[in-house]
Structure 1
Amino acid sequence: FRRHPWAQAAAVGARLPGPHELSWVERVVAALAGTGLTATERLDVATLLVGHARNLAGLPPGSGREAAFGTLVRGREERYPALDAALRPGPDGPADHDTLDFGLARILDGIAAFVAARATGGDPP
C-alpha cells in the first residue's frame, strides 16, 4: 500500500479480491498451518493483518495522524491533556514513530500468544 497508494482506494468497499491479494491471503493461511489454529482462525489472522495495513499504510511515518490530531487538539489542550502529551515531541512523543510497524508488531505478539496458548492446550488470551 505504501509503494502503490492508489491500491488502497481500489481495495475498499464491497469487492472481490484480485488474484494477487488472494495469493497473499493463501500464503498467510498456509504459513499458519500446524500452529493449532483452526482454518477459520488462520483466515481471521490474514484478515486482521491486511485490515491493519490497509488502515494505516496511507500515513507516512511521523506525519498524517499526528498532524491531523495536532490540528484538532490545538487550542483544546486542557480538554485533551493525554492526547496533547502523546503528540508532543520528546521521549514519549511521536518522533520517528511508525504506527503501522508498531501495530503490526503488537498484532503479531498477540497472534504468537494465541498460538502458544493453543499449543499448550490452554485458553487463548
Structure 2
Amino acid sequence: MSAADVLTVAAEGGVIGDGRTGANLALGVGLIGVIIGWLALARVSGRIGAGNARTGALSAMAVGLAGTALAVLHLATSSGGPGTGNGMVGAVVAIPLGLTAVVMGRRALARSRAAERNSGPVLGSGR
C-alpha cells in the first residue's frame, strides 16, 4: 500500500467509524502539532529547560503539515455538505489548526537560530 493510499484511507475514516473519523484524526494531529509548537516556543524563551527547541520546532512543523494534509484530503474525498455528518466542518477547523502548528514551529525555529547566533563569543572583548 502506497503512502497516498494510506492517507486516503485515513482521511476517509478507514474501515472503522463514520465519515467524521478522518476529520477527527486531522483535528487530533493538528492539536498535537500546536502543543508541540507551544512547547518549542516555551523552550526557546527559557520557560522549559528540558528538550531541544530546534527538534520541537521541526516536529511541530511536520505534524502540523500532516494534519493540514489530512484535513484537505478529507475535504476532497467527502461527499455532501456541512451538517451531513461527514465531518466537513471538523476538517475545515483542522486546516487552520494545522497551519497554526506550522507557524508556531517556524517561529520557534527562527527564535532558536537567533538565540544560537546571539550566544556566540563576543569579538573584541579581550576575553
Under a length normalisation based on structure 1, what TM-score does the superposition of the two structures give? 0.31
Higher normalized contact order (CA 8 Å, seq sep 6+, divided by chain length): 2
Larger helix proportion of the pair: 2
Normalised by the length of structure 2, the TM-score is 0.31
